[in-house]
Chain A
Amino acid sequence: MATKVQTETGGAIWKCFVRNGQAVAAGEELFIMEVMKMEVPYEAPVAGIVTDLSIAEGDVVPEDHVALVLT
């Protein structure tokens, strides 16, 4: 089943550790956003393969943005 990873707030993508096709384990750090001077890490909610990656370092993204999908 596909699991979407969505941003909880708007902010800037500070670091992105994954690319399309990469296998990740549950709990692995996927990317870090910068929100109000805080670095907010996003971890994989489930294990899977990264697809539909739609963020890059430096991007400013809105709330509820689908950053990637895990399949």
Chain B
Amino acid sequence: MSWREEADRIRARREAATAQGGPEGVEKQHQKGRLTIRERIDAVLDPGSFDEVGRTAGDAEVGANEELLSFDPANFVLGFGTVGGRPVVVGGEDFTLRGGSPTLAGLRKSVYAESLALESRIPLIRLHEGSGGSVGTPKRPTPPSAVFDAPRFRSVAETLAAVPVASAALGAVAGLPAARLVSSHFSVMSKSTAQILVAGPAVVQRAMGENLSKEDLGGAQVHAKNGTVDNAAEDEAGCFADIRTFLGYLPSNVWELPPVQPCDDPLDRADDALVDIVPRERRRAFDMRRLIGHVVDQGSFFEMGRGYGRSQITGLARLDGRPVGLWANDGRFLAGSMTADGAQKARRFLELCETFHLPVVSLIDEPGFWIGSQAEKEATIRHGSNVVLTAAMMSVPWASVMIRRSFGVAQAAHYGPGGYVLAWPSAETGPLPVEGGVAIAYRREIEAAPDPEARRRELEEQMAAKQSPFPRAEAFAIHDLIDPRETRPMLCRWLARQGPKLATLLGPPRFLPRP
């Protein structure tokens, strides 16, 4: 006697599982221009590195002699693999089976994904396409689970404080999977194939009377601009590339330092373009992204959240091969002011840096909070103060470069505790920009002048001169006033000095990061 029969039965189940929803289900998925979950997993991981967990999970129907009559695989595929040679956990719904709405074992595997990442202390990648529970009758009814069981989302919350979580929306993602999609450090949606919905068109039509397509309700034109996801990629391949890039800057967990890469971009590269990049005309905007490109390692800037909170630019970059969180203002959008959504984006970004011990580099051109009736309606002061207080409680090394404007309460968000502060000659700083400040503080004097307009301009020029960085540097109120071309060398040298401090900060953050 041997166990050959059982071994054959195991093999039969595994073969049935890899068939997913069967040739027809797979064909239907491909016809819609979408990959199956197994193809997705293979595409996001290093080639051939997938090592599946739970290969025999599913509903088996057997005959009198235990022969397999039919097998419905659990519709969540889970396992280990590597990205850039480093281990990760990866999982996602199988849309070819029940449209990704969880089966019993499928749900168990889905919930277990976080536990696996937490136990192994390695990043988690979630590739989503599917919906939440269905009111339809399952093939085999199971007793309801206890409401008083441990909260299902507890491990999701704990994971965010322990290992990097990156997720993608690759088809329609609704309900529970949508909640997991956004409960991540980085999320990306495919513009050509994905929608994200709390509830789909039929439910919305019934409850709200709105007659909208999936795309109208939750396509990239909605969610890449409201912060639901960080990035939108053209297609599924673009999503996988973004996730791989994102993980490349991060450590495997909060107990490790971010990975340093060899760098062939000279750390003393001093691009001449930097000395001309900020126009002398104070109202003339400049291209902050171009400036960033001259400072960080060539091609290393990975922007996150470009579609929303657009007055703030956030992303990951490297300086001499060392990863940093890079935050800057975009003066081309609402003058670079701190808006409610920009503040939420910045707060979440700072929390990412704090959690994974990424030093922050802040390139400042901050005119202050966004003002006006729309700004008041959006509770700008509450969201703005949130990021100001978040910055005040950071512990990672922080370098601030005053590029141009640094005004108001909002500027405080751009300087971390114990930070290194450099200023360009174009830096201006004060309680508020002279254009607004002079008109208020000198109202009577301006009104009484024979030529009020001329007096206002004269006062503005006097005040602008006082906001010059030279007296600040002379008083050692900043660490150094620098030639803009020195920015990269100085930041690289600063960052190289942070190793010992970073090593003392390792471990979980003092707060629990939220989506």
* Nearest CB of A to B340, in Å: 15
Contact partners of B331 in chain A: CB under 8 A? 38, 40
Q: What distance in Å separates the Cβ of A68 from its nearest Cβ neighbour in chain B?
A: 18
Q: Which residues of chain B are near A41, meaning CB under 8 Å?
A: 284-285
Task: Assess whether A35 is in contact with B281, with CB atoms less than 8 Å apart.
Answer: no
Contact in complex: B285, A9 (CB < 8 Å) = no
A-B pairs with beta carbons under 8 A, tally: 34
Q: Give the complex CA separation of A40 and B285 in angstroms.
A: 5
Interface residue? B337 (CB, 8 A): yes
CB pair B333 A35 closer than 8 Å: yes
Question: Are A36 and B283 closer than 8 Å at their CB atoms?
Answer: no
Task: Report how far A32 CA is from B9 CA in the complex, Å.
Answer: 71
Report whether over half of chain B's contact residues are helix, strand or loop; otherwise say mixed.
loop
A sample of 23 cross-chain residue pairs with beta-carbon separation below 8 angstroms, ordered by A number, consists of A8-B332, A8-B333, A9-B334, A35-B285, A35-B332, A35-B333, A35-B334, A36-B334, A36-B335, A36-B337, A37-B435, A38-B285, A38-B332, A38-B335, A39-B281, A39-B283, A39-B284, A39-B285, A40-B285, A40-B332, A41-B284, A41-B285, A43-B287
Across the interface, which residues of B come within 8 angstroms of A38, CB to CB?
A: 283-285, 331-332, 335
Given that A38-B285, A39-B281, A41-B285 are known contacts, is A9 also in contact with B335, CB under 8 Å in the complex?
no
Apart from A37-B283, A38-B284, A38-B332: 8 A-B pairs, beta carbons within 8 A: A8-B310, A9-B310, A9-B334, A36-B334, A37-B335, A38-B331, A39-B285, A40-B331
How many B residues face the partner with a CB closer than 8 A?
A: 13
A39–B333 alpha-carbon span in the complex (Å): 11
CB of B329 to closest CB in A, whole Å = 11
Q: Mark B326-346, 1 if CB is under 8 A from A, else 0.
A: 000001111101000000000
Q: Give the distance to chain B from A67, nearest Cβ to Cβ, in Å.
A: 14
Name the residue of chain A whose CB is nearest to the CB of B281: A39
Chain A residues near B285: list those with CB within 8 A: 35, 38-41
Closest 7 CB pairs of A and B: A36-B335, A40-B285, A38-B285, A40-B332, A39-B284, A38-B335, A39-B283
Q: Which A residues are in CB contact (< 8 Å) with B284? A: 38-39, 41
**Which residues in B have their C-beta under 8 angstroms from that of A8?**
310, 332-333
In angstroms, Cα B334 to Cα A26, docked, is 26
Given B281, B287, B332, which contacts A9 in the complex, CB threshold below 8 Å? B332
- Render A30-59 as a binary contact track against B, CB cut-off 8 A, 1 for contact: 000001111111010000000000000000
**A5-B497 Cα distance, complex, nearest whole Å:** 43
Point out the residues of chain B lying under 8 angstroms from A39, CB to CB.
281, 283-285
Q: Of all chain A residues, which has the CB nearest B370?
A: A36
A38 to B336, CA, bound (A): 10
B281 surroundings in chain A (CB, below 8 A): 39
A5-22 vs B, CB cutoff 8 Å, 1 = contact: the mask equals 000110000000000000
Complex Cα distance, B281 from A9, in Å, reads 21
